[in-house]
Each structure stands twice: as structure tokens, then as C-alpha cells.
Chain A
Amino acid sequence: MKHFSKQARFAISGLICLHVAVLSAGFLAPYDPTEQNRSSVLRPPSTLHFVHLRPFVAGADGHDYPLRFFITGSKYRWFFGSSSVTHLFGVDQPGRVFLAGTDEFGRDQLSRILWGGQISLATGWLAALLALTLGLGWGLIAGFFGGWRDTVLMRGAELFLALPWLYLLLTVRAFLPLSLSPWITALVMALVIGIIGWPRPARLVRGVVLSAKERDYVYAARGFGASSWHLILKHCLPQTYRLMATQAALLLPQFILAEVTLSFVGLGVGDPAVSWGSLLAPLRQIAVIGSAWWMALPVLAVIWTTWCCSLLEDNWKYTGEAG
């Protein structure tokens, strides 16, 4: 970390915090993200009041409910498997604390933003990993071997670039069973996004390999009898690390945005699962935009992720720290 610039360290810390928060959603979120409070529909964020530094919220019944920490609430499962009922904060029943307001079914927005990040980030990471792996392999082979293999592989990549991803997703969805778990749906989305997204890194990797294989030390290694795969893995591949890192920082927010877009138009995960895109879907209604600004809060999570990744990408692109 000490090799990174201040900007890069900030970005990495920002991303780590976000990922920790999302992975600890069950603990940080005061409520189950699917729990409906039908008498608290589209409620604005609760105001925290303080008496001698002790926070409390005013209940709808006229009573004050002090904020309690490590409170027992709904059962959730940690990402590593074990389950718990302890939440970081909350208020005693029948009080309710909605720090980011509620949606049109009275579900706690803060809990939903935290839980929603799991599917959005996982989809982004999986898709980026897939695109980078495919792009790297494709670009290495095309760039190193050249000739007809280069032509065939690169024309193939262009074919993938021309695929309309929205329609591809629709087609894939039509062939899948209806009762898909949210995680399978997210996996399908990641596959489609990743399959569409790999040609760009493949082209860039090919360019780097084309240049790398002409270096003197590569010629020397070849002269000493090194095999093609040895040259690729030992001499060309390391040249792509910096590129891969910047591409990861570029593709991750791009693919998270792709998930957000798909879920926004109703092609992503359905209820009861939640993602940042599905959280933003109600904003398609003019009535919600006009009267419930807090429904746009998931945008902040998307902006934060994108901003941190952009900082990182800029930093690596111009300073070469990643390489």
C-alpha cells in the first residue's frame, strides 16, 4: 500500500470499506431487506435527535425510541455461512428507525442498499473477471502467434462486439426456467455481460503482446530455445499486468452499471432479492421522483464505486503503480 499514491490509497480504502459494508449487510442493516412495514410507506429518512449525546428517534405513536447498539433483530446469514440475529443498531419495537427512509412497501432503504450491493458487486466482479480472463487468453494467443490465428480471433472478437447485449440477455432468459434463484440470475447476468465485454481487453492485450514479443530479451529467449508457451507466460504475460489492473478498474464500474441498467428495466433479479438496479427501478415513476427523493440514495453507492474505480484507473494509467 505504501507504494501507492495518496489518491490510489484513498480509492482502495473507499472500495474496501464499501465491500466490507456490503459483505456485513446482515449485521449493519437494522432490518430484513424484504420486511414490509405497510403503515410506513414512502417514509422519509428518520431524524436522529440527541439528548446528552444519546441518539433517539421519534416514533409515530408519540414515544421516543433510543437507538440501541448490538440489538437483537431478524435472523440473517453471514457471507461465510453462519447465521446471527445481532444487528449493529436498531430501536426497540414498536419503534422503527429508517435512516435512509422506506420504499413503497415500507421496506427499510438502508438495509436494502446494503444487501443490494451484494448482487450488484458480485455481478460486476464476476463479469469483470470473466471478461478479463477471456480477453487475456484471447489477446495473448492472437498477439503472440499472429497470422491467420490473429485474423480469425480478432474477427471473432469483433463479432462479439456487435452482439446486442440486451437482446442476448432476453434470449438467454427465455430459455431458462422461471424459478431461478437470485444468485443464479445474477450469475446469468454476469455471464452475459462478461461475454459481451471481453473483446475490448482482448484487443488491448493483443497490442501489448505484439509489442512485447518484439523485445530483444524475447528474441534472446527464443534463441536459447524457449517454447512459445514459456515466452507467453514468462515474458509477454507480465507485460499485461498493468493493463489488466487498469482494465479491471475500468470494467468493474462499467459492469456494475450494466447490472444496474438491466435491473432498472426489469431484466435483473426480481423480488424478494434486491440489487442497486432494482432499488432504482421505482424512479421510473415520475410520482416517486417528485415526492420521494430518498429512493435515489442507491445512486450514491453506485457513484462511490465508480468514483473510487476511476481514481484508481487514472492513477494506475498515469503512474504505472499497478505494474
Chain B
Amino acid sequence: MKRDSGIYIRVTCAVLLALGVFARTPACAESTADDLLITHGESGRYGGSLVVLERAEPKTLNPVTALDAPSRDVIRRMMADLISINRRTLETEPSVAKSWVVSRDGRQYVLELRRGLRFSDGHPVDAEDILFTFRAYLDEAVHSPQRDLLVIGGQPIGVEKVDATHVRFRLSQPYAAAERIFDSVAILPRHLLEKAWREGKLGDAWSLNTPPAEMAGLGPFQLKEYVPGDKIVLSKNKYYWKVDQKGNRLPYLDQIEFHFVPAEDTQVAQFIAGEADILNRVGARNFDLLSGEARTKDGHLEDAGPGLEYNFLFFNLGQVDAQRFPEIVARQAWFRDVRFRQAISAAVDRDAIVRLVYGGRASALWGHVTPANRVWLNAALPKPAQSIERARRLLQDAGFRWNEDGGLMDASGKPVQFSILVSSSSLERGQMATVIQEDLKKLGIQTQVVSLEFRALLDRVLNSRQYEASILGLVSGDADPNPEMNVWLSSGGSHLWNPSQNQPMTAWEAEIDRLMRQQMTTLDHAHRKQLYDRVQQIAAENLPLICLASPNILVAARKNLGNFQPAVVDHYTLWNAEQLYWRQPAGARAQGAR
């Protein structure tokens, strides 16, 4: 029956396509007769284990509730999504869904699943698993962080089964690049998780202590072992649905071991000692150290160029309790003056930040879209060099004066000084603060750099608002502007300088709100680009975030590792884990290079 209805639907789709009901053609998916996806990398050899270092232990292995990066790094190797964003090209590509069609009004997506799919425990996959997955993610009681992405125009996306291999998604309004939202939704095995969901326990399912036999996914690897405080070992999924050009089923590696090593310097030492095979992210100084390290001659170091991370200085422009923090409220009068922010921006030597903090392996930023994001970057934004004179003029215009010792005073004669919060775990942001401190000294501004534990810092910025200025960084998992909605909408929780506003406090924030909402529902790319260019321009003029620098993606791996192609979007090195292979067998590597 299922087969018949499948044929019926495919025929229906073909007719609808011919009639022009669906405007876009399905994305190209190369697949074999068995619906296996053929990859484009070089064909490798089977066997071997890969040791990857993680900064912390994952908190959970539950893809629905995972928030922290280590959890997502591991889960991503065990699970798969319907449509993926290729980390190298940043384009969407088929994954568990082998193709999809979009209605002309952009409100309906029909996805066709690969046939013959099985979870890593051998259980077959069908459209019911997809329905269950989206029900689980959309269930408010589960508190999935991805839920917001699946609510469009205030309405959760509708999911319905067409047949065993076709699923229809209904959107309440057109949503630009809607297929990109599927990238973060891991397909769940209904046979293993539905019971927990019905009992309201899905959020607690798949903890680190769950036996491997009770977990399954569609990713290239499956859980083999968890050793608390030490490592997580994943073994290959023999039912994985990708093959190489010779038809060999992926992955090549027998297992991936995630070892927990908190400090980057220790990670580098382990890599030099040959105890790790991949460093997913290396600081510029350590990158140079590894480059000159004779013992790592079997190591391959790659500077993949600018990533999507942008670091910025920002001031507290939000509502602050004047009774509790009168000093901060008094200083907000300076911060809210755009000329003050422009003067600070003009005084900051971004090139010095790139040179001193990142050893030249970064790009200076004047806007929040980094040079890595060529599709969305507004190249017309001005990039003025550091100018203390211009900064002084702006401050003068804003009513500031200097005393005989060169100290900057506001109109009421109060000395201009403020503190800059930085995270104690980010060496680079602490160093940026030191550079800025020296630059602002030239304007007669005294600043104090305060190093706080990251969660304490976020609490001050987002909740208590007990801060004056801070340096933070944001990195999007996608080049598209939509994941940044929470940052740029005045009502957004990550609208750092003044989060969760009921009404936009300034006219330029109101305009950004309007433009961001408009671009979200605009299907024409050129028009979207125009709208987002304008957002970048407003942000660069009003400087709620004084953008500083975007570090290059620096990674390291063993030379022997085949198909190693670092990306500029996280996960930088394991995004194609299924294609990684050892060119030489483990024994030969042990005797030779290492």
C-alpha cells in the first residue's frame, strides 16, 4: 500500500511541477538506485581511529535539548538532518531528504526521503519518524532551543505525512531560505524516543549515562562508550547512507574518540606529542608555534581564512535601575550619544588588534558581517582608519572637554571613565581590551578592564544590566541573516546592548526591526540583499556594536588524514567526518611519521 501511495504522490508532484504549481525545481541530489548519496571526496581506505580534542565534556547526547558546543559536536556525528548546509560552500544540499520542492508562494515544502534508510540500530526509517521529530522539537514542554527557528510568523510550521517517503511542511508565511532551518533538526528514532516523549520525559532522555544500545541515529557514527571525565568514543554506523564514488559505504574510520582537554595550550601540547589527530580551532600564536615546531612535521596546518565570528565592543544602552546603579545610569548619557560611540570607534586601532591579538591572522571589521560571508557582506561600508583627530572632533561636538592633564570631561565636568567587561576564558578579548584601553588613553578616557567568568558576564549583560561596556563575540552557524534575528530585532534576547525591548527605543532600531522582518519573508535574493545591506549600513552608522576583528579559522590535523577540508563554519574539521580516512594504516603511521 505504502509503495502504491508513494508512486501516486510522485506522479502528483510531477504533474504539479508540470503545471507550474511548484516554482522551484528540486535540489539536485546524486543518488544511487538504493538512494545512497554519492559523495565527491577522494575515495579512501577503511579502518583506524581519530582522536579529537574537546574543550569540555558534553552535557547531554539529546539532540533536542543540547545547547553547549561539545554536546552538539558529538551529536552532529551521530545524527543527520533532512537538508544540510554544506560547511564549505555554505549552500544547502540534500541529506536524509533526497530532494524537495517548494510551492510558488513559498509556503509549502514537500520533501522526499531516501528509501531504504535505517537508523544505526538497524530499524527502518519512514515519514512517521520525521513527523515525530518535528512534533518533539515543536513541543513547548520539551524546551528545545531549535523551536524558535521552527516558529515562523508566530505559527509553528505544520508537518504532515504525504506517504512513507514524502513529508509536507506548511509555513504560515513565506520564509526566505526556509530549507536552511532543516539543517539544525536531527531526525529522531520514533521507536526509541516516542515513549519518553509521551511521558513528558524527552528532555531527560539520552543523557551521557544512557546505554549505547538505547540510542540510534542517522549519522555516520554511533555511541560506543563514554568514560566520565576522559572521553566519548563513537563507532561507525554500518547503515550510513552515503557512499564514495566507488560505491564504498561511508564512513571510512572505525571510530572517533572525543577526548576532553579544557585548555587550548594543553591541546596543542597533546597534538605535538602525537596524542591527538585534529585541533578544531587553534589560536594564532599557537598556530605559529606549531608551524615552527619540528616535532609536528607530520602535522598539516591550515589557515582557512576569515570565519563568521565577529568580536565587538558595546555599551550598555538598556534600561538600568537608577536606584541600584546610579553611576551606570549617569554614564549612559555618554554611551547613548552616537557621537561618543563614533568617537570610540574612530579611536580604536583595529589593525593593531589584528596584528597584536591575532598575529595578523584575522580581519579588521567595521560591520558585523565578516569577509567570509561574501554573499551577504555589504562591501560598500566605509572602513576608516584609526583617527584620534576625528575622534576628538566628534567628542568636542558632543560637548566633551579636556582638562589640563589631558583627561576627558563631560559637559558637567565629570571625568569620562568606564569599565570594560571581558570573559576570563577568552584570552583574545582580554587582549583586545588592553589595546582599546591604550587607544582611549589618547582621548583622555580612563578605562578599567574587568575579567569575569563567562556566565557571570552574560548574567550582567542580559539580566542585571550591571555593566558599562563589554567585549564579546558572536558566531553564527550559518551565513544567512535569519539566525541573527535574535541579535538584531529590538525584542530579541540577544540584542545585547538593550535586550528584549517591548518597543524599539530608537528610530534606527525600529528601522532595523522593519528591515529584518521584511528580509525574512522576502523570497527574492537580490531584494533580501538590499534590505540586509541597509541593516548593515544603519548598524555601522549607529554603532550599537563597535565591530573589531574576525579571526581566521586556524586548524591542525595529521598530514595522513585524507579528505581533510576545513570549513569556515563550525564544525570546522569534522563536518565531513564520514569522508575522513587514514592514507596509511595505523601501524605504518606509528612507525613512520609519529
**Chain A residues packing against B (C-beta within 8 Å):** 34-36, 38, 41, 104-105, 170, 174, 177-180, 266-267, 270-272, 284-288, 290-291
Residue in contact with A285 in the complex, picked from B355, B421, B427, CB distance below 8 Å: B427
Given contacts A38-B352, A174-B456, contact A287 B286 (CB under 8 A): yes
Q: How far in angstroms is the closest Cβ of chain A from B262?
A: 12
Residue in contact with A179 in the complex, picked from B285, B352, B418, B427, CB distance below 8 Å: B418
Q: Are B265 and A286 in contact (CB under 8 A)?
A: yes
Can you sample 23 A-B contacts with CB below 8 Å?
A: A34-B438, A36-B438, A105-B438, A174-B456, A178-B421, A178-B466, A178-B468, A179-B327, A179-B419, A179-B450, A179-B468, A266-B451, A270-B449, A271-B434, A271-B437, A272-B441, A272-B449, A285-B285, A286-B268, A286-B286, A286-B289, A287-B265, A287-B286
B417 lies within 8 A of chain A by Cβ? yes
Q: Are A287 and B437 in contact (CB under 8 A)?
A: no
Chain A residues with CB under 8 A of B268: 286-287
Q: Are A270 and B285 in contact (CB under 8 A)?
A: no
Given contacts A105-B438, A284-B265, contact A271 B289 (CB under 8 A): no
Q: Are A38 and B286 in contact (CB under 8 A)?
A: no
B15 lies within 8 A of chain A by Cβ? no
Q: How far in angstroms is the closest Cβ of chain B from A76?
A: 14
Given contacts A179-B419, A284-B265, A288-B285, contact A104 B448 (CB under 8 A): no
Q: How far is the CA of A139 from the CA of B430 in the complex (A)?
A: 44
Q: Return the 5 tightest CB-CB contacts between A and B, nearest first.
A: A287-B285, A286-B265, A287-B289, A178-B419, A179-B419
Give the number of residue pairs across the A-B interface with Cβ within 8 Å. 75
Chain B residues with CB under 8 A of A178: 419, 421, 448, 450, 466-468
Q: How far is the CA of A287 from the CA of B357 in the complex (A)?
A: 13
Additional 8 contacts, C-beta under 8 A, given A178-B419, A271-B449:
A38-B349, A174-B456, A179-B327, A179-B468, A270-B451, A286-B265, A287-B289, A291-B289
Q: Are A104 and B431 in contact (CB under 8 A)?
A: yes
Interface of A is mostly: loop
Chain B residues with CB under 8 A of A270: 448-451
B207 lies within 8 A of chain A by Cβ? no
Chain B residues with CB under 8 A of A286: 265, 268-269, 286, 289
B356 lies within 8 A of chain A by Cβ? yes
Q: Are A104 and B289 in contact (CB under 8 A)?
A: no
Residue of B nearest to A181 (CB): B448
Q: How far is the CA of A284 from the CA of B441 in the complex (A)?
A: 27
Chain B residues with CB under 8 A of A170: 453
B424 lies within 8 A of chain A by Cβ? yes
Q: How far in angstroms is the closest Cβ of chain B from A83?
A: 11
Q: Are A105 and B419 in contact (CB under 8 A)?
A: no
Given contacts A36-B438, A105-B356, A180-B448, contact A290 B289 (CB under 8 A): yes
Residue of A nearest to B355 (CB): A38
Q: How far is the CA of A240 from the CA of B202 in the complex (A)?
A: 67
Chain B residues with CB under 8 A of A272: 434, 437-438, 441, 449
Chain A residues with CB under 8 A of B349: 38
B256 lies within 8 A of chain A by Cβ? no
Residue of B nearest to A265 (CB): B424
Residue of B nearest to A273 (CB): B448
Q: How far is the CA of A41 from the CA of B356 in the complex (A)?
A: 8
Q: Are B468 and A285 in contact (CB under 8 A)?
A: no
B288 lies within 8 A of chain A by Cβ? yes
Residue of B nearest to A272 (CB): B437
B398 lies within 8 A of chain A by Cβ? no
Q: How far is the CA of A81 from the CA of B265 in the complex (A)?
A: 43
Q: Are B433 and A271 in contact (CB under 8 A)?
A: yes
B304 lies within 8 A of chain A by Cβ? no
Q: How far is the CA of A288 from the CA of B51 in the complex (A)?
A: 26
Residue of B nearest to A291 (CB): B289
Residue of A nearest to B405 (CB): A75
Q: How many residues of B contact A (CB 8 A)?
A: 37
Residue of A nearest to B460 (CB): A178
Q: How far in angstroms is the closest Cβ of chain A from B407?
A: 13
B320 lies within 8 A of chain A by Cβ? no
Q: Are A104 and B450 in contact (CB under 8 A)?
A: no
Q: How far is the CA of A179 from the CA of B431 in the complex (A)?
A: 18
Over the window 422-436 of chain B, the binary record of Cβ atoms lying under 8 Å from chain A Cβ atoms (1 yes, 0 no) is 001001001101110
Chain A residues with CB under 8 A of B355: 38, 41
Chain B residues with CB under 8 A of A177: 327
Chain A residues with CB under 8 A of B421: 178
Q: Are A179 and B448 in contact (CB under 8 A)?
A: yes
Q: How far in angstroms is the closest Cβ of chain B from A82?
A: 15
Q: How far in angstroms is the closest Cβ of chain A from B422?
A: 9
Q: How far in angstroms is the closest Cβ of chain B from A193?
A: 19
Q: How far is the CA of A104 from the CA of B283 in the complex (A)?
A: 14
Given contacts A285-B427, A287-B288, contact A179 B417 (CB under 8 A): yes
Q: How far in angstroms is the closest Cβ of chain A from B6?
A: 58
Q: How far is the CA of A285 from the CA of B448 in the complex (A)?
A: 23
Q: How far in angstroms is the closest Cβ of chain A from B401?
A: 21
Chain B residues with CB under 8 A of A179: 327, 417-419, 448, 450, 468
Q: How far is the CA of A271 from the CA of B429 in the complex (A)?
A: 13
Q: How far is the CA of A41 from the CA of B360 in the complex (A)?
A: 13
Q: Which of A35, A36, A104 has the most CB of B within 10 A?
A: A36
Q: How far is the CA of A105 from the CA of B268 in the complex (A)?
A: 23
Q: Are A105 and B265 in contact (CB under 8 A)?
A: no
Q: How far is the CA of A215 from the CA of B387 in the complex (A)?
A: 77
Chain A residues with CB under 8 A of B453: 170
Q: How far is the CA of A272 from the CA of B448 in the complex (A)?
A: 7
Q: How far is the CA of A78 from the CA of B377 in the complex (A)?
A: 52
Residue of B nearest to A173 (CB): B452
Q: How far is the CA of A98 from the CA of B252 in the complex (A)?
A: 55
Q: How far in angstroms is the closest Cβ of chain A from B423?
A: 10
Chain B residues with CB under 8 A of A266: 424, 430, 451
Q: How far is the CA of A267 from the CA of B283 in the complex (A)?
A: 23
Residue of A nearest to B448 (CB): A179
Q: How far in angstroms is the closest Cβ of chain A from B327?
A: 8
Q: How far in angstroms is the closest Cβ of chain A from B307?
A: 20
Q: How far is the CA of A105 from the CA of B468 in the complex (A)?
A: 25
Q: How far is the CA of A266 from the CA of B429 in the complex (A)?
A: 13
Q: How far is the CA of A288 from the CA of B431 in the complex (A)?
A: 14
Over the window 452-467 of chain B, the binary record of Cβ atoms lying under 8 Å from chain A Cβ atoms (1 yes, 0 no) is 0100100000000011
Q: How far in angstroms is the closest Cβ of chain B from A178?
A: 4
Chain B residues with CB under 8 A of A287: 265, 268, 283, 285-286, 288-289
Find residues 265-312 in chain B having any chain A CB closer than 8 Å to their own CB.
265, 268-269, 283, 285-286, 288-289
Q: How far is the CA of A32 from the CA of B269 in the complex (A)?
A: 35
Q: Are A105 and B435 in contact (CB under 8 A)?
A: yes
Over the window 231-275 of chain B, the binary record of Cβ atoms lying under 8 Å from chain A Cβ atoms (1 yes, 0 no) is 000000000000000000000000000000001010011000000
Q: How far is the CA of A288 from the CA of B434 in the complex (A)?
A: 17
Q: How far in angstroms is the closest Cβ of chain B from A72?
A: 18
Chain B residues with CB under 8 A of A180: 448
Q: How far in angstroms is the closest Cβ of chain A from B190?
A: 46
Q: Are B265 and A285 in contact (CB under 8 A)?
A: yes
Q: Are A104 and B356 in contact (CB under 8 A)?
A: yes
Q: How far is the CA of A177 from the CA of B438 in the complex (A)?
A: 22
Q: How far in angstroms is the closest Cβ of chain B from A202?
A: 33
Chain A residues with CB under 8 A of B448: 178-180, 270
